[in-house]
């Protein structure tokens, strides 16, 4: 795995809807910009070797960093992959939609739900939104949120951006009734 750069983003909301948020709502994102393991190979029928060589190492690299950046226990989490223009969306999906990748984050966050994800192809600077859900109960609506990410110089055409996001709480000022009220 060749990592060109790692970017850490922190988003803190102090006022939402004109009202203070106390403590501030904090979301962290850590993104690795890596060389696409299938770059220059044309269509690859079996992505297994590249997944085996890359996915677990990426999960092990990113999971502790995003939780450290968050600075609090994670209550919501998500993941994303953005493939450069010379790659396939399946390349990013192959790396993040495997337990070899995701279990590093689940274990570090004491989580049990599936990690919501975004995957897309785009040029350097493309904006992508990582969806977040509660770490143990995906029906808790207060934690359904997104965080917007943009890396000005990534991905290059032969790269993939792999990102993890974590939130220390649900949406600021959330006031939707519990899902059980509609059942």
- For 58-112, what is each residue's pLDDT tens digit? 999 999 999 999 999 999 999 999 999 999 999 999 999 999 999 999 999 999 9
Whole-angstrom distance, CA of residue 17 vs CA of residue 12: 14
Alpha helices in the chain (DSSP H): 48-70, 89-96, 99-109
**pLDDT value at position 20?**
98
**pLDDT value at position 179?**
74
**pLDDT value at position 139?**
87
**Residues 125 and 82: beta-carbon distance below 8 Å:** no
CATH superfamily name and code, 3-173: BB2672 (3.30.1330.110)
Q: What percent of the chain has pLDDT over 70?
A: 100
* Domain spans in the chain, listed from the N-terminal domain onward: 3-173
**pLDDT value at position 180?**
72
């Amino acid at each position: 795995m060749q990592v060109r750069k790692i970017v850490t983003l922190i988003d803190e909301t102090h006022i939402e809807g004109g009202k203070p948020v106390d403590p501030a709502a904090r979301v962290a994102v850590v993104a690795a910009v890596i060389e696409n393991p299938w770059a220059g190979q044309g269509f690859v029928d079996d992505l297994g070797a590249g997944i085996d060589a890359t996915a677990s190492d990426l999960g092990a690299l990113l999971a502790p960093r995003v939780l450290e950046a968050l600075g609090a226990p994670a209550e919501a989490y998500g993941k994303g992959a953005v493939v450069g223009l010379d790659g396939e969306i399946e390349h990013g999906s192959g790396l993040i939609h495997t337990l070899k990748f995701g279990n590093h984050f689940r274990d570090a966050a004491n989580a049990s739900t599936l990690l919501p994800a975004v995957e897309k192809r785009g040029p350097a600077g493309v904006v992508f939104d990582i969806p977040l859900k509660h770490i143990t109960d995906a029906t808790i609506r207060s934690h359904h949120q997104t965080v917007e990410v943009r890396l000005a110089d990534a991905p290059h055409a032969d790269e993939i951006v792999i990102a993890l996001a974590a939130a220390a709480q649900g949406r600021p000022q959330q006031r939707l009734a519990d899902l059980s009220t509609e059942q």
